[in-house]
Amino acid sequence: MTYSKYFFPQEPKIPIPITIGVVLLLIFFLTRFFGSVSLPSRASKKTLRQLKVVNLSHNQAGVFWQTDEKETGWVNYGQSEGVLDNVALDERDLQDRRNLFHDHLSILKNLQPDSNYFYKIVSNNQLVEAIDGRSFSFKTPPNLAISSNLNPAYGKIIRENGEPLTDALVILFFEQAYPLATLSKTTGEWLIPLNIILNKNTLKVQTVGLEDKLSIEIYSDDKKKTQIITNLSRISPLPQTVIVGKNYNFLSEENILSASSVKKVELNKIEILFPKESTIIPGSKPLIKGTAIPDVEVEVTIDSAKSYSFKTIADKEGVWKVIVTEELPSGLHTLKVTTKDLNGKVVQLTRKFSIAKSGEQVLGEATAEATPTFTPTGIPTVTPMPFPSPTIFPIKSPTISITPPTSGIDIIPVSAASVSLIILGIGVLLAF
């Protein structure tokens, strides 16, 4: 039946060039699609500028780290080195939005006392681990029921133009203790409770005295740094507002009002320096300080439910201060300062301030946001030492939890290529 093909209807066939073209396009599409979902693989090494465990207590800890560039970041952690199934976001991030920072602070909550914890940093969707490929780690102390009666450390940080510095990272260091850290609020004010100062070697509460030296480091996200050297007696509050990028030493009385970043007190000016107007003070013994005519008597009264009176004399620089020995009750107080000017005329100044109720951690607008956590880490240095080069792995951004990446061969592109070859074979058969 040689001519049967002319008399019987034939099934239409797709031209061979079109079939091959469609199959090649399909292979290209599948390769691009599945290739973008590759498994993590080992990448180049990366150096963090700083990495510290801070605010360590029996039930929580903080992790502070710095990156050279602004990056997103969070912490994966858990009690097993192989299962880091908990996530702690940066304190400034939202669950559905990550922001770019040089300085990062994550708080790990609901920890178990007397337990080992492991963690890795996720920076710009890359997993940062120790130089030996293992997780970083720390241990929580046993359950701590001791609460210190120390007043919280607090102060205010501003930019050179006088604007409050928001979200600056503030870290307080006691010798041999874990550091304490917080973020400044929209007013530039910051507050760090001193309920637990934990020794980094013994994991026991460390006792500190009013004259014990400490340092405070403040970082802005434009890479400016302020370092403050002081002691415990001068941090509730700090003697003055500080400017980011400037360094201060408050160990001696002469330096308190004449730091390199602040103009000297104007001679013969009568003024109340502390407390500031309408300040809400978390401690019960506020710093009361001001300026007047040198060697002239200054009378100070505090009016509230009870009246308190003090007399002092301005020093040769015109600076005076009053030490409140009795704890002031909570509520509104009115401070009155009476002295004389150069002409012998009586001058009276007033200032209103409030003492917060017991248990409140209040500092102006910063009160509700104050972080009640406690720190750990070594003694600070003037310039941060680079952390040993860790290894990084690309991973995906988490929603609630992340399964740590594992090394190995990515079988998805291989599978895609196999499927494509099968489709190509079927297409060729159909074409013929």
Q: Per-residue pLDDT averaged across 100-125, rounded?
A: 94
pLDDT at residue 131 tops 50? yes
Comparing 139-153, 235-249, 371-385, the range with the smallest average pLDDT is 371-385
pLDDT tens by residue, 379-388? 333 333 344 4
pLDDT at residue 3 tops 70? no
* Overall residue count recorded for the chain in this entry: 432
pLDDT band at residue 240 under the 50/70/90 scheme: confident
Q: What pLDDT was estimated at residue 38?
A: 36
Q: What pLDDT was estimated at residue 158?
A: 94
Q: Per-residue pLDDT averaged across 347-366, rounded?
A: 66
| Residue whose C-alpha is closest to residue 108's, from 139, 82, 133 | 139
- Residue 96, C-beta contacts closer than 8 angstroms, at least 6 positions apart: none
Supply φ then ψ for residue 112, to 5 degrees.
Answer: -95, 140
Q: Per-residue pLDDT averaged across 133-161, rounded?
A: 88
**Residue 192 β-bridge partners:** 153
Three-state secondary structure call for residue 173:
strand
pLDDT band at residue 97 under the 50/70/90 scheme: confident
CATH number belonging to domain 265-281+284-355: 2.60.40.1220
Q: What pLDDT was estimated at residue 42?
A: 41
Q: What is the DSSP string of 301-349?
A: EEESSSEEEEEEE--TTSEEEE---SPPPSEEEEEEEEEE-TTS-EEEE
Q: Per-residue pLDDT averaged across 387-414, rounded?
A: 42
Residue 19: C-alpha distances to residues 26, 285, 419, 422, 429 (Å): 11, 87, 16, 14, 10
Q: What pLDDT was estimated at residue 183?
A: 96
Residue 144, CB-side half-sphere exposure with 13 Å CA sphere: 22
Q: Per-residue pLDDT averaged across 60-76, rounded?
A: 94
| Residue whose C-alpha is closest to residue 158's, from 191, 186, 181, 179 | 186
Q: What pLDDT was estimated at residue 27?
A: 65
Angle, helices 411-431/16-35, rounded to nearest 10 degrees: 170
Residue with more model confidence, 118 or 423: 118
Within a 10 A sphere around the Cβ of 306, how many other Cβ atoms?
Answer: 10
At residue 264's C-alpha, the angle toward residues 262 and 265, to 5°, is: 120
| Distance (Å, whole) CA 75 – CA 87 | 6
Residue with more model confidence, 172 or 257: 172
Residue with more model confidence, 384 or 13: 13
Residue ranges of alpha helices (H) inside 206-320 are 253-256
Dihedral sign (CA 175, 179, 182, 183): positive
Q: What pLDDT was estimated at residue 293?
A: 93
| Distance (Å, whole) CA 31 – CA 23 | 12
Q: Per-residue pLDDT averaged across 303-327, rounded?
A: 88
Q: Is 142 exposed, middle or buried (0-12, 13-18, 19+ CB in 10 A)?
A: exposed
User: Is this structure's pTM higher than 0.85?
Assistant: no
Q: What pLDDT was estimated at residue 44?
A: 39
Q: What pLDDT was estimated at residue 189?
A: 94
Check: CB of residue 287 under 8 Å from CB of residue 237: yes
Check: CB of residue 318 under 8 Å from CB of residue 292: yes
Q: What pLDDT was estimated at residue 372?
A: 32
Three-state secondary structure call for residue 87:
strand
Q: Per-residue pLDDT averaged across 341-370, rounded?
A: 67
Q: What pLDDT was estimated at residue 368?
A: 34
Provide, rounded to the nearest whole percent, the portion of the chain with pLDDT above 90: 45
Comparing 52-66, 221-235, 293-307, 318-332, the range with the smallest average pLDDT is 318-332
pLDDT at residue 111 tops 80? yes
Q: What pLDDT was estimated at residue 107?
A: 96
pLDDT at residue 389 tops 60? no
pLDDT at residue 39 tops 80? no
pLDDT band at residue 4 under the 50/70/90 scheme: low
At residue 373's C-alpha, the angle toward residues 369 and 379, to 5°, is: 125
Q: What pLDDT was estimated at residue 283?
A: 67
| Distance (Å, whole) CA 40 – CA 362 | 46
Check: CB of residue 284 under 8 Å from CB of residue 355: yes
| Residue whose C-alpha is closest to residue 172's, from 141, 123, 127, 212 | 212
- Mean predicted lDDT score pLDDT of the chain: 77
Q: What pLDDT was estimated at residue 384?
A: 38
pLDDT at residue 326 tops 70? yes
- Of 11-15, 29-33, 295-299, 359-363, the range with the highest mean pLDDT is 295-299
Q: What pLDDT was estimated at residue 296?
A: 93
**Residue 302 β-bridge partners:** 308, 335
Look at strands 288-291 and 271-274 and give their pairing: antiparallel
